[in-house]
Amino acid sequence: MNIKEPEVVIIQLIKNIPHKIKVTFYSGLIWGFLFHGYMILNKFTNQDDQNRIVDTLTSSHAISLGRWSLLFYRNLFDKVTMPWVNGLVAIICASIISCLIVSLFKIKNSINCILISGIIVGYPSLVGTMGYMFTVDAYMMAFLTSVIGIYLAVNCKNKWLSSIIAIILIAVAIGTYQLYLFTTITILFILVLLDTLEINNVIVNIKTGLRYIIIIISSYILYEVISRLFLQKYDRGLNSYLDMDTNGIGAVLAEPERLYRPYTQFIDFFLEYDYGTTVSNLLPTIYIGMVIIMLLMIITLIKKNKANSILNITLTMVLILLIPFVTALIYITTTNISDVSFRMVYSLAFVPVLFISILDRFIQLKIDNLTMSSGKNLINWASILMCGIIIFNQYLVDNKAYLLTGIAYEQAYSYWNNMMGRIEQNEEYTINMPIALVGNSFKSPYYKTYNRQFSCAKTTRPTLGGIADLSNIITSWSRYRFPYSYLGVESPIMTNPEGLEYFENPIVQEMPVYPLVGSMKVIDGVMVVKLSDS
């Protein structure tokens, strides 16, 4: 047996990587630092991350959320939230995902490879996920697992074996974060649509689509079976978060109007959505322009590739009409649309990716007519410019969100530091005395002093969930964590249910609201701080 030196093998492997894949990966890393460097070089927090500096995610809690494979990914790294580690892993995963997408969608032009990596790595869905830094590495590794499953299903010669492996990998990805089901569906959908532009065989295209549908359904069934087994083992029920305990075909049948939501939300997202940046007013016009150009390119590709049978054109038209439904499919799964945050709509990033994929095929066409050739080049330049503006907009949105997260952290630090200073100066206070925060923080005049309403999380549709503003950090379900985790306060701060017991106390009823004098009193050995009158 001739075993080669590691250096020789590694160098050979690198040499064998196609140029376009190298371009995609390296540009993905560069985009990653431009988009997310601010976050991974600092340590900010949100409502959940306050309790996850040292990750305390329990098996039973993960199971109740339907995320049984999350624990596997979390165990790959130290259970300490380290942005430079977790964030960097996420960027590397996003870059590799971009490479696989470039390969799956058969992108040839290097500029288009760079654009695709910019869209995928910089899309604000990753920003929302970065807010949950303690688990962003696991989520992105799960997303990568799903795309690897798709890649194997598409490229392996043994379709049966590759399909089985894909089903398992996709189920594992869904078992980490259910929303990757929708990105998986979107990617497979785009693959079928791109095939109809090149293969003039409806039977083949439909068979391919049916195979992908079977893979998706089988993956989801496998996910559900494993979830039920874990729930039974841990004697837990499925959490009601995002209607996970009631979702399904029955929920859609009970509210058939949900079937229209993807279209209305898709239109709202691309044509009415306010990113809150200096280029936001251009975006609706750009998206309309992209639709017009994309339709022109599709018509040209069908003609040039002779994929113009009536049946194939009909199939292509049906798939085009389904683009909003498939990419915004998540909106039919929840009762309350406002529960859908940006990290949950990664599938919408593949709308511009689809545009770039069609553009790549369009510019490869050989056109002899000088006028038509010039027109093709003009479309190419216009498309690159539009995609560049979209990516630049993502750059602004991402870094604005991270800046505001930093401001929220500073606000929270000042808010809690001042409050703890007042508590410790109280003559009745003793070391390690329990503290009860009574009332609603948001109704306190002191809260209004600190919360300057900077956060884009309050002005975007959908929200950049996970990116904190002050209200996230001092909510009733998380406000006891920040002083302990970030200020080193040893006194236990009661959770909201415990603190509410003091609200009906006559002494508390007569107390003024914090920060007024007399808003703090020791009652039965507990330092009670009244935050509001209701």
pLDDT at position 119 over 90: yes
Q: Report in angstroms the alpha-carbon separations of 436 from 412, 420, 445, 519, 529.
A: 18, 12, 18, 12, 6
Q: How far apart are CA 255 and CA 252, in angstroms?
A: 5
- Ramachandran angles phi, psi of 80, nearest 5°: -120, 130
What pLDDT is stored for residue 499 in this prediction? 66
Distances (CA, A) of 329 to 2, 116, 152, 513: 52, 22, 24, 46
Task: Report residue 300 as tokens.
Answer: 């040209």
Question: So what's the pLDDT on residue 427?
Answer: 84
pLDDT for residue 297 is more than 60 = yes
User: What's the pLDDT at 230?
Assistant: 83
Return the structure tokens found at 200: 């003039």
pLDDT for the residue numbered 247? 57
Percent of the chain scored above 90 by pLDDT? 37
Between 236 and 104, where is the model more confident?
104
DSSP-derived secondary structure for 201-224: -HHHHHHHHHHHHHHHHHHHHHHH
Are the C-beta atoms of 46 and 134 separated by less than 8 Å?
no
Q: What pLDDT, on the 0 to 100 scale, is given for residue 447?
A: 63
Most confident of 20-24, 159-163, 417-421: 20-24
pLDDT(422) > 50: yes
Q: Between 119 and 51, where is the model more confident?
A: 119
What's residue 118's pLDDT? 97
Q: How large a percentage of the chain has pLDDT more than 70?
A: 87
Query: Residue 466 in 3-state DSSP?
Result: coil
Residue 154's pLDDT band (cuts 50, 70, 90): very high
Model confidence, pTM: 0.90
pLDDT the model gives residue 456: 47
- What pLDDT was estimated at residue 487? 82
What is the pLDDT of the chain when averaged over all its residues? 84
Give the separation between CA 305 and CA 337, rounded to whole angstroms.
41
Task: Please report which confidence band the pLDDT of residue 240 belongs to, taking 50, 70 and 90 as the band edges.
Answer: low
User: Interhelix angle for 83-104 vs 110-122, to 10°?
Assistant: 140
What's 65-76 look like in SS3?
A: CCCCCHHHHHCC
Tell me the pLDDT tens digit for each residue of 43-74: 888 777 777 776 666 666 777 777 888 878 87
Report which of residues 355 and 373 the model is more confident about.
355
The pLDDT value recorded for residue 109 is: 94
Res 244 pLDDT > 60:
no
**Is the pLDDT confidence value at 277 over 50?**
no
Q: Quote the CA–CA distance of 511 and 529 in Å, as a whole number.
A: 9
pLDDT, one tens digit per residue, over 440-471 is 777 666 666 555 544 444 444 556 767 776 77
**How many Å apart are CA 191 and CA 209, to the nearest integer?**
9
Minimum mean pLDDT range among 83-87, 361-365, 436-440, 450-454? 450-454
For Cα atoms 45, 47, 52, give the angle at the middle one, nearest 5 degrees.
65
Q: How far is CA 273 from the centre of its chain?
A: 17
Question: How big is the chain, counted in residues?
Answer: 534
pLDDT band of residue 275 (cuts 50, 70, 90) is: very low
pLDDT category at 248 given cuts 50, 70, 90 is low
Both ends of the chain: CA-CA distance in Å? 78
Cα–Cα dist 308/199, whole Å: 9
Whole-number Cα distances in Å, 292 to 13, 79, 299, 389: 42, 48, 11, 17
